[in-house]
Amino acid sequence: MRFNEIGQQLRAYRMESGLKAEEISARLGVSRAALYRYEKGEVIKLDTVNRLAELLKISPLTLLGIGVEYYAKPVGYMERIRQIEESSDQILQVFGPTCYLTSSDQYDAILAQIFEENAELQGVDRTLARAASEQLLGVMMARKRMYAARKPSIIGILTVNSIQKFLADGVAGSTVVSERLRNAAREVAAREMELVANLMESEPIGLQLALMANGEPNGPFTLLRSRERATLAINPFPADAAPGTQSGVAMITGAEDAVAAHQRVSEIAWREAVKGAGAAERVRALVSAARG
């Protein structure tokens, strides 16, 4: 058993469950420190794995890293992606208006404001909503810090429809906020797309962004590669999804057939994609159209 990976998945599923570490440790009859040691990769008994899986309402095989991982909330998925990114040398993203890891500080700032205002609208649940927002934002910022430190190469194939929706709705477009904040979110989205256009044009080392030439993929996916393995992540949650979003189920797998099939799709999409100055010009035209 790969105890380090079991620990990583345990942490991701614990965060998704919404249960606190002390709640899980109490039900297991172990100390909170012991639970944290499991999450850091300490040897764990199979009986403990079974009891943890029952508490977290997942299959023991999933916790053991056998088969496919499924996540129904953004925070569990984002935490697992953060873990995989720690050892990834290349990240290939298909779909979306932008790549979160290369977004600006203004993106994170407006997202924090949106989550905070939305939490205030939750009434008696506002404390829980605020805690969930802080947890999710903490994971996302940790991903950016890791990217800044390691600088894995990124290939992003963006789509026209997702960019148009991003510009029309703004950052976190599906989250309910005041019109004032929604307008601010639209302006940040426009600036983010200007940044994307600049990156397409300048083509910095280790970062390649292109615009899908025709149509839209069936769904967004990411391929993460390290020297040891390749991982496929199929994600229904946009980077700016609110903590309570349950718009689908994310899937993570290292199955060779799944990785190879999505690799072939991405290679065709990249070969046909609009790149460089041509892509930048089209993105800037979309921004101009959105601003009227």
Could you report the average pLDDT of every consecutive run of 10 residues in the chain (292 residues)?
86 91 90 92 90 90 84 94 97 96 98 94 83 95 97 97 96 94 98 98 97 82 95 92 86 95 95 97 98 87
pLDDT of residue 134: 95
Nearest to 238 by CA among 100, 131, 145: 100
Structure tokens at 235: 């994600």
Residues of the chain with CATH 3.30.870: 68-291
Q: Is 60 exposed, middle or buried (0-12, 13-18, 19+ CB in 10 A)?
A: middle
Contact between 145 and 199 under an 8 Å Cβ cutoff? The reply is no
The domain 68-291 is placed in CATH, from the list 3.40.50, 2.40.160, 3.30.870, 1.10.3910, at: 3.30.870
Q: Is 263 exposed, middle or buried (0-12, 13-18, 19+ CB in 10 A)?
A: middle
Please tell me the CATH superfamily of domain 1-67, with its number: lambda repressor-like DNA-binding domains (1.10.260.40)
Residues of the chain with CATH 1.10.260.40: 1-67
CB count in 10 Å sphere of residue 168:
11
pLDDT of residue 2: 80
C-alpha–C-alpha distance, residues 23 and 42, integer Å? 20
Contact between 196 and 98 under an 8 Å Cβ cutoff? The reply is yes
Tell me the three state secondary structure of residue 116.
helix
C-alpha–C-alpha distance, residues 88 and 256, integer Å? 17
C-alpha–C-alpha distance, residues 224 and 24, integer Å? 31
H or E element: which one contains 50? helix 46-56
Residue 174: which residues within 8 A CB-CB, separation 6 or more? 241, 242, 245
pTM of the model: 0.89
**Cα distances (angstroms) measured from residue 166 to each of 46, 156, 161, 242, 245:** 46, 16, 9, 15, 17
Contact between 56 and 49 under an 8 Å Cβ cutoff? The reply is no
- The amino acid occupying position 204 is P
C-alpha–C-alpha distance, residues 202 and 152, integer Å? 18
pLDDT of residue 124: 65
Structure tokens at 85: 């990114």
pLDDT of residue 61: 84
Q: What is the dihedral angle through the alpha carbons of 89, 94, 99, 102, rounded to the nearest 10 degrees?
A: 30
